[in-house]
Amino acid sequence: MILLKKDIIELLDGSVEGVRAALQHAVELEHATIPVYLYTLYSLRPGSNEEVASIIRSVVIEEMLHMTIACNLLNAIGGAPVLDRPGFVPKYPGPLPGGVEASLTVSLAPMSLEHVHDVFMGIEEPETPLRFKALALDKDRPVTIGMFYAKISSQLQNSFFSGNVSRQVVADWWPDQELFPITNLDQARRAIQIIVEQGEGTDLEPLDLEGDYAHYYRFAEIVHGRRLIKNPNATPETPPDQRYIYAGPAVDFDSGQVLPLETNPGLQPYPAGSGAQIAVDAFNASYTNFLRCLHQVFNGHPEMLRSAIGTMESLKEQARAITSIKVDAETFAGPTFQYKPVV
């Protein structure tokens, strides 16, 4: 479970400036999960572990959606999202932005059931999985991501919505109308609900608003090796945490089809002039360009979104090239997801 430091919640002081600061933090937090998931996805040999890859890929896509929604919310209340700066990118291993250091250390690591259980499910874990007990906020103790978003929602006021709607990204190609203009309080709260429920589920179900399983339970399918299905023996009196069971079609995982990538490759630079160092530098330049392009998208140029998506696709190809480079007899290189300033 991700626990946030109390000074994050203290940003929300009832002012529009406080909500803007909190939403900028939300943008950073949503982005920070994406390299973690992508690194593990890149470790799967192409054509193998397809069910596992499909689950991870589906979550990556929705995390991109969540970051976009957070940017739209920030623009809606007259803010300006910041993505193009070194501090936007967290260091791996370490806590996610604003996270309590002792709660969860997030690493870039190849696919394993332990990594999915300990890190992926740890990132997405609700406060009480499947039991969904709600607790009041207490500013003197850490809060979960879901509680953080709930506090943002409670602080929003209709008078805050002064932003230019043309700065928001509303993509016609996104399914289920999950990306829509935000111009008032009701739309903002609906957008926040999408973010929270896609990650954690609803109060009584492991499902989001669209009827898909929330991220935590999708990752649990990988760990359990089975799809989550409704318990055929459940009755209206069955407790919420017993209404579903991991007894559906198999989610097979073949550890023999995982590339032995380095864990947290950014801890020690590859030798200067080596193939790994050249390839990783090129990847980081593209990754930085991706963030720079997204910064422009969310700051008045939403028409550049397709260009940003194209850059993201090229990252996949560069990552595949890196993961074909051996650094020793047993280990392959991996992308480091580091911000590379323009010089």
- Is residue 282 situated within a structural domain? no
- Is residue 88 situated within a structural domain? yes
**CA 289, CA 301: separation in Å to the nearest integer?**
15
**CA 202, CA 196: separation in Å to the nearest integer?**
8
- Is residue 287 situated within a structural domain? no
- Is residue 304 situated within a structural domain? no
Number of folded domains that form the chain: 1
- Is residue 127 situated within a structural domain? yes
Q: Which DSSP symbol is given to 168?
A: S
Q: What's the CATH number where 91 sits?
A: 1.20.1260.10
What domain range is 96 assigned to?
3-262
The predicted-structure confidence for 125-139, as pLDDT tens digits, reads as follows 876 655 322 334 455
Compute CA distances 99 → 6, 23, 133, whole Å: 9, 15, 22
Instruction: Please identify which residue in the block is written with the tokens 């499909």.
Output: 54
- Which helix (H) or strand (E) element contains residue 302? none
The predicted-structure confidence for 146-155, as pLDDT tens digits, reads as follows 889 999 999 9
Instruction: Give the residue with greater pLDDT, 284 vs 202.
Output: 284
The predicted-structure confidence for 190-238, as pLDDT tens digits, reads as follows 999 999 888 877 666 787 766 788 999 999 999 999 999 888 998 988 8
Q: Which DSSP symbol is given to 116?
A: I
- Is residue 124 situated within a structural domain? yes
